[in-house]
Amino acid sequence: MPKELDLENLRICLDNYKLNKLYIRDCGGYREDGSYRISGEQKVNIKFNDDKVLDFKKNESGLLLIIDSEEIFHFPLNKTHNGFSLAYDRRYDDGRIVMLSGGLNPYDPELPEPKTSKLRNVWDSLLVELTFEGRIDLKFHSWKEEPYLKYWTIDIK
């Protein structure tokens, strides 16, 4: 998705889709003993129910994630490379997972409906992943590399 639409896409998702989980981890790095750790250290792992509400606020210090008026995480937004990506958890009846490559139609009627949608991004060397119930609707935005890679953006149900 286009990077310049990140906050707009995030707002649309939070306002129109049911959030199940917020997960934040670093993208790997060096331990105190100097050895490299490929998997990142978990920073936030929160499951949502109807009692919790996630919101965000952008100001001069960066992006604040807020749950029920309490600030829970701050991204300075010093390093942002790409826009959000969206992954659907689609499975056939026999349990096989569906993996789509770029440019394919996410609404192909031959594909099973997604059980969840994961909105992912990397800000300041931290992976942020928001899991929503069902399918987050998309609409075509523009070509990244015609005719192979499309940019999509979030659509309202």
Which pLDDT tens digits describe the chain residue by residue (157 residues)? 889 999 999 999 999 999 999 999 988 777 788 888 777 888 999 999 888 999 999 999 999 999 999 999 999 999 888 899 999 999 888 988 887 765 567 788 888 899 999 999 999 989 999 999 999 999 888 887 777 677 888 998 7
Q: Which domain holds residue 54?
A: 3-154
Check: CB of residue 112 under 8 Å from CB of residue 92: yes
The alpha carbon torsion through 154, 134, 97, 6 (nearest 10 deg) reads 30
Say if CB 134 and CB 20 are below 8 A apart: no
Q: In the chain, how many domains are there?
A: 1
